[in-house]
A = this chain, B = another copy of it.
Amino acid sequence: MYCPEHFTEADANEIDRIMAAFPLATVVVATDQGLLANHIPLLRQGDDQLIGHIAKANDLHHLVEDNTEVLAIFQAEDAYISPNYYPTKPETHRHVPTWNYQVVHCHGRINFDHSTKGKTAIVGRLTSHFERQAFGDQAWRMADAPKDYMAGMLDNIVGFTIDIARVVAKSKLSQNREPVDYDNVAEVMMAEGKQGLGQRMKSLKDSD
Contact = CB atoms under 8 A, between A and B. Distances in A.
Assign chain A's interface to a size class: 35 or more
Given A28-B28, A97-B131, A149-B93, A37 B80 contact: no
Contact of A140 (B26, B69, B83, B133): B83
Q: How many copies does the complex hold?
A: 2
Interface string A1-42: 110100000000000000000001010111000111111010
Contact of A94 (B30, B59, B145): B145
Contacts of A202: none
Contacts of A58: 2
Interface in A103-162: 103, 105, 107, 123, 126-127, 130-131, 133-135, 138, 140, 142, 144-146, 149-150, 153
A80 B95 CA distance: 39
Interface of A: 1-2, 4, 24, 26, 28-30, 34-39, 41, 54-55, 57-60, 69-71, 73, 75, 78, 80, 82-84, 89, 93-97, 99, 101, 103, 105, 107, 123, 126-127, 130-131, 133-135, 138, 140, 142, 144-146, 149-150, 153, 170
